[in-house]
Chains A and B, each alone.
Chain A
Amino acid sequence: MKAKKVIFIILSSLVIVQVFLIDVVLKSLGPESIGLYTIKQFLLISEIALFYLIINKIESKIERNSVSKIGILLILTAAILVIFGLLSFIPGIKFDLSSQYIIALNYFTVIISNIFSTLIIFISVYFFVILKNFILSYRRKSTIRNFILLCISISLTSLTYFYTGVGKSTSFSMLLMVISIILMLIHSFRLPWVIYLSRKEKYYTIGYLILLCPMIIFLVVVLGSSSNINSPVGVLYYSSSIVRELVFNIFLFGTIYLNVAFISTIFHLPTQDIFDKKLVEISSLHNLSRLVTQAFDFRDLIEEINKLSLTVCDGSCTWIEIKNKKNNSGFYIAGSKNISLDEINELYSNSEFKISEEVKNNKKLVYLENINSKLLSNENLSKKIKSLIAFPLISHSDLIGIIYIGSNQQYGFDKEYFNIITTFADQVTISLENAELLEKSFEKERIERELLLAQKMQQKLLPQKFPEHPNLDIYAFTLPAYEVGGDFYDFSTINENKIGIILGDVSGKGISAAFYMSLIKGMFQALSKIYESPKELLININKSIYGIIDKNSFVSLIYGVLDLIKGKLYLSRAGHCPMIWISNSNIQQIKPKGIGVGLDSGDIFTNTIEEIELQLNSNDVCVLYTDGITEARNKKNEEFGLEKFIQLILNNYNNKAFTICNNLIDEVKSFTEQDTQFDDITLVVFKWKNFEQN
């Protein structure tokens, strides 16, 4: 790119030198060399083109705002006027008209003309490029096409002067001129940049244009009217009529364009306020929409909303009330700006101050245009708030909050803005809801974490290892339907040859069941050491639990104490599923009498409960279970059922307790096909072995 620029500069220098040489030759040879004259014209055209390319390159790299562009135009115009001024003062510049060509009368004239005409051409092209940048800023599809038409029209107009003498024009060139002027007029309305000027920039623009417009009008008059070849414009005529015409056209266009721009800028001044406000509104709404996606912290969000309220509505203080969703106790002030909480409370304590009620009742914006000082006894406050708007934040026709914006001027708000305030309110509502959803999801995550923790705790509450004794083979399994459950099993070592095995089911599922379960586990561990008889233990658990447990909750328990030497099992049941006892393929459901724990305060429970003594044979299988197994359901809503369960135990009769347990659970799982588990599942399998016999 840089190389191109250098080539252009070298080329244009060459062209300038050539033009100069031709002028020298023409001076020495006399005006008869038409051929040379033609070459000069072509060289000048290429000079203009090269200048355009160079300047365009330079300008395209510089970011100028509109004001600085006008400034440059002012400098360029002034420069040309200075040049013309100089020319009229330099003595000895003399031209003569021979037939239709201008000839320089001395070599000094040739030199001076060449220097200044080149300068003028350069400045004019520069002027044109800046104008072009004005026209093509904020371009539309048609902009470039129209501008190219204008360029062609101007070029053609200029080219018609190829062989025309000074001050002469053909009707064809006049026609082209008219077309050019029409196109210039059309282009002079391409002034979108004026709208986007800030107030300060507009003042600068007007200031520059006040200087520039008369100057450029004067320049155009000079360029257009003077056909006197010994006036300063003669330098251009001498250079070429094409050049003069082109320079004239460029500045004519400049005159039209800049004068229209001047008037337009002046007319835009009164609407400046509105435009500035709109720009602020747009940018604040934009900020808010960004806020919606970024609000992670509620307090930050409120702070940001307050800031935006002030900018959007041009207020002097603001506060926001938000509905308290947690306990529905009405509204609270979530945040304020430029007004303290005390001041707001003071405002609210005034019985005349009914704006909140009004908004709450009508769910519509309320505007107090002119607040009298009666309403605001506090002097400080009455200075701060002279007018006030309050508007509701409505989500699904529910009022979730109110934004108040006060102004320190009477009639401080423009009713035109109320539309925008509605949009603003919508955005705020969305962002608040977003923040709330976010908070909820954090909360949910927290609860999930807590539940996982509870699950781990509950797993720790289960016996970490099974009782070990040469005469005992035991295994157990539990699987809650949710994270935590109400099923449990536990063991207690009563003495070295006696163990207690308990299994239970707290009614209901989930957390509440889990709490009772841990309670009963604690009681069991404490009481089993005191009451050796299962019956006594259950009676005591019932007594302790009855007052604590919910009326509609209860616990079913089954508890056996196994004498590992004698193979005797003492069994009591409190409303639980019976024990399945398989001895030599003889299936028995052991169901001693007893009602659930927590159903009765004591007497009925105590009078009902039985204790059974069983003499186990070696390798008998005993199974304790919860109804989660027998009532497990598959997709067809069929129950797993007790019969199938017993049959499976029979099939596994000779296996170890561990295998029996796992096989049973696998069967249940494959039956339900991993569907949602409805209830907790718990299973204890144990076998007594007569060590002496074996």
Chain B
Amino acid sequence: MTDFKIVQCEKNGISIIELKGFLDAHTAPELEDTFQKLIKNKKYKIIVNFRDLSYISSAGLGVFMAFIEEVRKNEGDIKLTNMTPKVFNVFDLLGFPILYEIYGNEEDAIAKFLKDGENKDSMTQEIE
């Protein structure tokens, strides 16, 4: 029953993780591994696409909590996209939209990443 799949790719230096199926206590460790590997490779700009995720449990939510602090410390972020209303509802109940940036599609999230990068650059230029 616990069908879960992770598809990974990279666009413009941003890692994109696509989730499929059920993310619960049984499958959460798989996602944890994926995050761990990204962080180990210093990839801190991460987009998680929820388009094909049909269910997420509290253990699944916990995975995002576990890594967000370290990612943000390294000037990266985990941005969430393409949530179905049901999955969004779970995130919404817990108040995730306040803690995470959630977008309708990948492009918006990528654009945000790129824009943040420019802002940072211009800020450093200003300081100089």
**A residues near B, CB below 8 A?**
505, 507-509, 550-554, 556, 574-578, 593-596, 599-600, 604, 608, 627, 631, 637, 679
Contacts and interface: CB of A to CB of B under 8 A. Distances in A.
B94 to A, nearest CB: 4
Contacts of B58: 505, 507-508, 554, 556
B110 interface: no
Contacts of B94: 554, 556, 575, 595-596, 599
A593 B93 CA distance: 9
B87 interface: no
B99 interface: yes
Contact of B98 (A508, A576, A608, A631): A608
A595 B1 contact: no
B62 interface: yes
A682 B25 CA distance: 19
B39 interface: no
A672 to B, nearest CB: 14
Given A507-B58, A508-B58, A552 B63 contact: yes
Most buried by A among B69, B90, B94, B99: B94
B93 A508 contact: no
Contacts, number: 59
Given A507-B59, A509-B25, A637-B1, 6 more contacts: A550-B62, A552-B63, A552-B65, A556-B93, A595-B98, A599-B99
Given A508-B62, A552-B65, A554-B58, A594 B1 contact: no
- Sorted nearest first, the 3 A-B pairs with minimum C-beta distance are A595-B95, A552-B62, A552-B66
17 contacts: A507-B58, A507-B59, A507-B61, A508-B25, A508-B58, A551-B65, A552-B62, A553-B62, A554-B61, A554-B65, A578-B93, A594-B95, A595-B98, A596-B94, A599-B65, A600-B99, A604-B99
Interface string B46-68: 00000000000111011101100
B62 to A, nearest CB: 3
B88 interface: no
Interface in B73-103: 90, 93-96, 98-99
Most buried by A among B58, B59, B62: B58
The dominant DSSP class at the A interface is loop
A627 B60 CA distance: 14
A554 B95 CA distance: 12
Nearest to B68: A551
Contacts of A551: 65-66, 69
Contacts of A554: 58, 61-62, 65, 94
A419 to B, nearest CB: 48
Contacts of A596: 94-95
Given A551-B65, A577-B93, A637-B1, A604 B98 contact: yes
Nearest to B66: A552
Contacts of A608: 95, 98
Contacts of B95: 574-575, 593-596, 599, 608
Contacts of B96: 595
A595 B61 CA distance: 13
A558 to B, nearest CB: 10
A551 B36 CA distance: 14
Contacts of A508: 25, 58-59, 62
A596 B58 CA distance: 11
Contacts of B57: 631, 679
Contacts of B1: 637
Contact-size category for B: 10 to 19
A554 B59 CA distance: 9
Most buried by B among A509, A552, A593: A552
A595 B95 CA distance: 4
Nearest to B59: A508
Contacts of B61: 507, 554
B25 A576 contact: no
A578 B89 CA distance: 11
Contacts of A599: 65, 94-95, 99
Interface in B97-128: 98-99
A505 B62 CA distance: 13
A505 B98 CA distance: 20
B71 to A, nearest CB: 12
A689 B69 CA distance: 47
Nearest to A605: B95
Contacts of A507: 58-59, 61-62
A631 B99 CA distance: 24
A417 to B, nearest CB: 51
B85 to A, nearest CB: 12
A249 to B, nearest CB: 89
Most buried by A among B62, B90, B94, B95: B95
Nearest to B58: A507
A63 to B, nearest CB: 70
Nearest to B91: A575
A631 B66 CA distance: 24
A62 to B, nearest CB: 75
B114 to A, nearest CB: 26
Contacts of A594: 95
B70 to A, nearest CB: 9
A552 B96 CA distance: 13
A4 B65 CA distance: 98
Given A509-B25, A556-B93, A595 B62 contact: no
B69 to A, nearest CB: 7
A508 B61 CA distance: 10
Nearest to A506: B58
Nearest to B96: A595
Contacts of A679: 57
A197 to B, nearest CB: 69
B102 to A, nearest CB: 14
A507 B63 CA distance: 11
Contacts of B25: 508-509
A599 B69 CA distance: 10
A441 to B, nearest CB: 26
Contacts of A509: 25
A508 B28 CA distance: 11
A648 B19 CA distance: 34
A593 B99 CA distance: 13
Nearest to A578: B93
Contacts of B59: 507-508, 552
Nearest to A574: B95
Most buried by A among B25, B61, B93: B93
Contacts of B65: 551-554, 599
B22 to A, nearest CB: 10
Contacts of B69: 551
A123 B62 CA distance: 100
Contacts of A600: 99
